[in-house]
């Protein structure tokens, strides 16, 4: 996989292998936290610090206001990003490199933040859904194929985020 | 404390106005908590973007989050703290706030 910033208006994701393409095609679904309470709690946390010394009533009011007025906006922003990325993913072109298929996406620069958001959402959900260890614990992870596949998927998303940050978003 | 003209001194309870004033003027701090998922470069980028910090300052705060578990990234009035927490959470950073003692 290779990422090139073309000009101020587009960037190209090219040399995307079959495996990487498969992982990218799973991105919108993987970012859906439905059924994973830990991921929902992490994506929409309370605004109050866990050890904050704050009056119970005030804390209750702030948390309720947050749920009523802020959380819907966050949900809407996250959904919008996933929709943009899903649309971009539907516009790939395929080329042949020997016997292997490769894919290419030309993406508007204006979508880069949506991509970062979608990739990050997916990484958070995958981490909690599969109870993945932190980087230091990877070698001790139990030999569960689902977990290893989830780790690979998360790593590919992380690598793409790094490309995006360094080549498109960093100013 | 005020003197009522006798030798007895009584404690004056704080007026509700003072309570409200304290509540409004009391500073709050915005914190980022460590998260095993968020990339270091992403946290640095968002800190620079939202607070306008230099790259050096943003990296310093990011490393504090990473190694110490949390970092206070801004302190000030409550309304603005809420706005910053919302902006940080909109980038999936684990951001929270609390009143400063």
Domain ranges of chain A: 2-169
> With an 8 Å Cβ cutoff, is B31 touching chain A?
yes
Q: Searching chain B, which residue's CA lies closest to the CA of residue A166?
A: B41
CB burial class (10 A; 0-12, 13-18, 19+) of residue A11?
buried
Is B1's pLDDT higher than 60?
no
Q: Searching chain B, which residue's CA lies closest to the CA of residue A40?
A: B92
CA distances from B34 to A6, A83, B3, B70 (A): 35, 28, 52, 6
- Rounded CA separation A149/A132 (Å): 11
Task: Report chain A residues whose CB lies below 8 A from the CB of B101.
Answer: 53
Asked if B99 lies within 8 A of A73 by C-beta distance, the reply is no
Q: Residue range A64-68: average pLDDT?
A: 96
Asked if A74 lies within 8 A of B39 by C-beta distance, the reply is no
Would you state the pLDDT for residue B4?
A: 44
Is B8's pLDDT higher than 60?
no
Is A55's pLDDT higher than 80?
yes
Is B38's pLDDT higher than 90?
yes
> With an 8 Å Cβ cutoff, is B72 touching chain A?
no
Asked if A165 lies within 8 A of B35 by C-beta distance, the reply is no
Domains detected in chain B: 26-99 (3.30.1390.10)
Q: Residue A125: name the closest of A154, A167, A164 by CA.
A: A154
Percent of chain A with pLDDT over 90: 81
ipTM of model: 0.93
pTM over 0.90: no
Would you state the pLDDT for residue B13?
A: 63
- Rounded CA separation B75/B27 (Å): 6
């Amino acid at each position: 996989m290779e990422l090139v910033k073309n000009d101020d208006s587009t960037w190209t994701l090219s040399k995307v292998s079959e495996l990487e393409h498969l992982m990218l095609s799973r991105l919108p679904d993987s970012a859906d936290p439905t059924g994973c309470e830990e991921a929902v709690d992490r994506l929409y946390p309370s605004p109050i610090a866990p050890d904050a010394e704050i009056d119970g009533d005030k804390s209750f009011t702030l948390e309720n206001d947050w749920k009523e007025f802020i959380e819907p906006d966050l949900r809407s922003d996250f959904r919008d990003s996933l929709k943009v990325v899903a649309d971009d993913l539907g516009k790939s072109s395929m080329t042949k490199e020997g016997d292997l298929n490769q894919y290419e996406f030309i993406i508007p620069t204006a979508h880069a933040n949506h991509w970062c958001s979608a990739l990050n959402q997916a990484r958070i959900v995958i981490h909690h859904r599969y109870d993945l260890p932190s980087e230091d614990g990877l070698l001790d992870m139990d030999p569960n194929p689902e977990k290893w596949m989830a780790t690979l998927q998360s790593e590919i998303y992380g690598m793409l985020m790094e490309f995006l940050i360094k080549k498109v978003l960093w100013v | 404390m005020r003197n009522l003209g006798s030798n007895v001194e009584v404690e004056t309870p704080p007026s509700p106005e003072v309570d409200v004033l304290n509540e409004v003027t009391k500073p709050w701090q915005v914190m980022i908590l460590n998260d095993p998922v968020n990339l270091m470069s992403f946290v640095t980028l968002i800190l620079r973007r939202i607070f306008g910090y230099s790259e050096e300052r943003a990296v310093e705060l990011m490393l504090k989050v990473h190694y110490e578990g949390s970092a206070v990234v801004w302190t000030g009035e409550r309304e603005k703290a809420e706005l910053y927490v919302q902006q940080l959470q909109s980038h999936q950073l684990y951001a929270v706030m609390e009143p400063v003692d």
